[in-house]
């Protein structure tokens, strides 16, 4: 039988997390009712979902340009994700690691040049 007492820290963590998040949800609700700012309308009651109406056919059309921007964002987001572990371990990986990352960045830059030249960055 495993010793359940070793899971005590996570139990405490979960308790505090649930308590705090409940506080964050219900405290503003209570305060607004008590202070008289409770004044709901249709826009306030709708759920927030990235700017799109939430209960609509998910196959609705949207501008393909959003897609391009999203793709370019993902690429550079991932680049940043690679850079952090590289930066903290640079002492250990030495010049080989430094050169590799520079090659990677140069390749990304060439890709950006291509996308730029192709007009992927122009909204109009």
Partner 1 sequence: MNHDMSASLLLVAPELTLTLAGLALLIWAAFFGDRHATGISIAAVAALVGAGALTSLAPAAGGNAFDGLARVDAFSTFAHVLIYFAAAVAIIIAPRFFRAHTPGGHGLMRAEYPILIVFAAVGMGMMVSATDLMTLYVGLEMNSLAAYVLASFIRTDTRSAEAGLKYFVLGALASGILLYGMSLLYGFSGTTNFAGIAAAMGADFSGGLVFGLVFVLAGLAFKISAVPFHMWTPDVYEGAPTPVTAFFASAPKVAAMALTVRVCIEAFGPTTLDWQQIIIFLALASTILGAVGAIGQRNIKRLLAYSSINNVGFALIGLAAGSEAGVAATMSYMAVYVVMTLGSFLCILQLRDAGGAYVEDIARMAGLGKARPWLVGAIALFMFSLAGIPPLFGFWPKFLVFDAAVRAGLLPLAIIGALSSVISAFYYLKVIKTMAFDEAPADAPQWTAEGNAVETGLIGFTATAISPLGYLAIAPLAYLSGNAALALFR
Q: Which residues bind partner 1 (CB under 8 A)?
A: 94, 96, 107, 110-111, 113-114, 117-118
Q: How many CB atoms lie within 10 A of CB 70?
A: 11
Structure tokens at 12: 């405490």
Structure tokens at 70: 């999203």
Round to whole Å and give the CA distance between 110 and 88: 26
Smaller CB separation from partner 1, 22 or 109: 109
Minimum separation from the CB atom of position 108 to partner 1 (A): 11
Minimum separation from the CB atom of position 18 to partner 1 (A): 32
Smaller CB separation from partner 1, 20 or 81: 81
| Cβ atoms 97, 90 nearer than 8 A | yes
Smaller CB separation from partner 1, 21 or 99: 99
> Residue 99 in 3-state DSSP?
helix
Structure tokens at 47: 């759920």
Smaller CB separation from partner 1, 54 or 70: 70
Phi, psi of 17 (to 5 degrees): -65, -45
Minimum separation from the CB atom of position 40 to partner 1 (A): 42
Minimum separation from the CB atom of position 48 to partner 1 (A): 30
């Amino acid at each position: 039988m495993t010793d359940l007492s070793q899971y005590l820290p996570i139990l405490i963590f979960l308790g505090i997390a649930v308590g705090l998040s409940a506080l964050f949800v219900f405290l503003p609700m209570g305060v607004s009712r008590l202070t008289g700012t409770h004044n709901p309308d249709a826009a306030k009651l709708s759920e927030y979902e990235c700017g799109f109406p939430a209960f609509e056919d998910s196959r609705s059309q949207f501008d393909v340009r959003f897609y391009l921007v999203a793709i370019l964002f993902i690429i550079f987001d991932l680049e940043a994700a690679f850079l952090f572990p590289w930066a903290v371990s640079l002492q250990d990986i030495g010049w080989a690691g430094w050169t590799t990352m520079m090659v990677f960045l140069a390749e990304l830059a060439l890709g950006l040049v291509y996308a730029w030249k192709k007009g992927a960055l122009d909204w109009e």
